[in-house]
Structure 1
Amino acid sequence: MKPAGRRRPATHETLKPPSALLMAMEGRAIFEWASFALAWPLLKQAPRGDGHPVLVLPGLAAGDTSTRPLRHFLEHLGYAAYPWNQGPNFGPRDHVIKGLVDRVRALQKKHDRKVSLIGWSLGGAMANALALRMPERIRQVITLGSPLTGHPKGTNVWRVFELVSGFRHDDPRLMELVSGEASVPTTSIMSKTDGIVSWRMSLARESRIAENIEVSATHLGMGANPAVLWVIADRLAQAENRWKPFKPSRAWHNLLYRDPHRFRLADLIAP
């Protein structure tokens, strides 16, 4: 979406997590997963890729099984889509970060091309931090409902994160995941009806190479949501070094993709 140039969330601002109502509404995710198969004939018409490597990072406590539909979609479009191969995502532990760095280097060497990163939830925050660390090897970053700013307590799973990761919510190392301007082209796909992560936490710092796109989705269904998959295809299909912010080009785009800074009814249940 076009940068609105209005407000920026404070980097470490403590935001309220999504309401109990939005949390309960995460049950809608089952319909998003079912719609993946129903929408496949349409998804096959999405913009095709140029074959460059794409590494997909799962969300908190999730593994590569959760990203299989997304990777299958990317492979159909012609990309070399890869799982992260590190088991469940229990956070940015030292060996995990080293594994990601090594994997990006190996994929870039294998294909002799920069690597695009797609991260779901926590995976997006880690992808963003990885791009800040090695921007010369990353083509672009796409995040799905990821905490990119604010404080970890702005999610409904911060206690789970502490339990499985070994990090405290106030660990300064976590703040590194949500600090700094985008160093490579970055697209944050977020939903105001996300029941896990406060949508304001998913707002990337907008700049000439960073954008936010609002969709109607649950947190748990984003990786299979047809509208999300289509815009991922649109973003990845751009030629390297010719990235531009997303602009709706079809009549139905305006129904599915919104500027998150503009008020709509969802703001009433996700203030």
Structure 2
Amino acid sequence: MSATAQTLRPPSKTLMFLEGRAIHEFGAFLGALPLLSLAPRGDGHPVLVLPGLMASDVSTRPLRSFLQNKGYIVSGWEQGRNLGLRHGVQDGMVDLVRELSDRHRRKISLVGWSLGGLYARQLAKMMPDRVRSVITLGSPFAGHPKATNAWRVYEMASGRRAEEDHRFGGSLSDPPPLPTTAIFSRTDGICAWQGCKEKSSAMAESIEVESSHCGMGHHPAVVYAVADRLAQAEGQWMPFDRSGWRSLIFPDPNR
């Protein structure tokens, strides 16, 4: 872990208080559906969506429904509430990735929200022959485990210390060897945004949005960005184009 990652601190109490705007962001999502319908359609490949800490597939239902309407074969993680890497969770996710790729005879894309994004990155590293792309939403893969306002909840839910190394698939901060997009917000009230940002490379990028952490899975800008990334043809990945009208919605992540 880098020195910068070790010095990151959780977001301020003010930003954490502002997480309540996630409710309004859901209303914005519903209102924006006519415009979001203009987002590109997909090629029908399977997409697995992984929820965040203490959340279940219910939390990702709006995003999954939208992606399904865009032509994808979409699945939730099917393990109830995400209480951390308890016994059987890792094996369950590995089995589901294998099942989806075998059933549809195609590589799958992984979309993970917060803790679910950490799982997505690691699964892709373990099974790059079965995974096509990875998209994380506010996932703190590059920060200290305590650079969030949720580490105490994680410890209570999982029964493990935040600092303990319970990773699988290698270092969290290293990107998978395939197209990877990290969506983050500087106004995230749960995770330090610096730890949710990816280093740009030939197959890795960051997209900045103006969103809460708890509303990221249904924020209109996030939903559009996810659809845009998933719609790329396999083997023809290009970085997100924020030119034109997109520059008004998606800030420069490197500013």
TM-score under structure 1 length normalisation: 0.90
Distance apart, 1:151 and its partner CA: 0.9
1:231 aligns with 2:225: yes
1:90 aligns with 2:83: yes
Amino acid at match of 2:131: I
TM alignment of 1:65-80, pairs within 5 A? 65-80=58-73
Residue of structure 2 in register with 1:191 after alignment: 185
SS at match of 2:97: helix
Distance apart, 1:166 and its partner CA: 1.7
1:36 aligns with 2:29: yes
Residue of structure 1 in register with 2:197 after alignment: 203
**Structure showing the higher helix proportion among its residues:** 1
Q: How far apart, in 2, do the equivalents of 1:44 and 1:9 lie?
A: 41
CA distance 1:210–1:161, change in 2 (3 Å): same
Contact 2:185 2:211 in 1 (8 A): yes
Distance apart, 1:94 and its partner CA: 4.0
Q: How far apart, in 1, do the equivalents of 2:15 and 2:167 lie?
A: 25
Contact 2:85 2:166 in 1 (8 A): no
Residue of structure 2 in register with 1:120 after alignment: 113
Deviations, residues 9-38 of structure 1 (Å, cap 9, x unaligned): 658524100000100111111110111111
**Partner of residue 144 from structure 2, selected from 137, 144, 151:** 151
Q: How far apart, in 1, do the equivalents of 2:124 and 2:7 lie?
A: 24
Contact 2:121 2:175 in 1 (8 A): no
1:105 aligns with 2:105: no
**Partner of residue 163 from structure 1, selected from 156, 167, 192:** 156
Deviations, residues 142-191 of structure 1 (Å, cap 9, x unaligned): 00000111211100010000110122111122494623233211000000
Amino acid at match of 1:159: R
RMSD: 1.6
Q: How far apart, in 1, do the equivalents of 2:79 and 2:104 lie?
A: 21
**Partner of residue 135 from structure 1, selected from 128, 137, 145:** 128
Q: How far apart, in 1, do the equivalents of 2:246 and 2:254 lie?
A: 17
Contact 2:47 2:74 in 1 (8 A): yes
User: Matched residues, percent identical?
Assistant: 55
Q: Which moved more, 1:205-214 or 1:16-25?
A: 205-214
TM-score under structure 2 length normalisation: 0.95
SS at match of 1:40: helix
Q: How far apart, in 2, do the equivalents of 1:50 and 1:257 lie?
A: 25
Runs (5+) with no aligned partner, structure 2 = none
**Partner of residue 17 from structure 2, selected from 15, 19, 24:** 24
Amino acid at match of 2:17: A
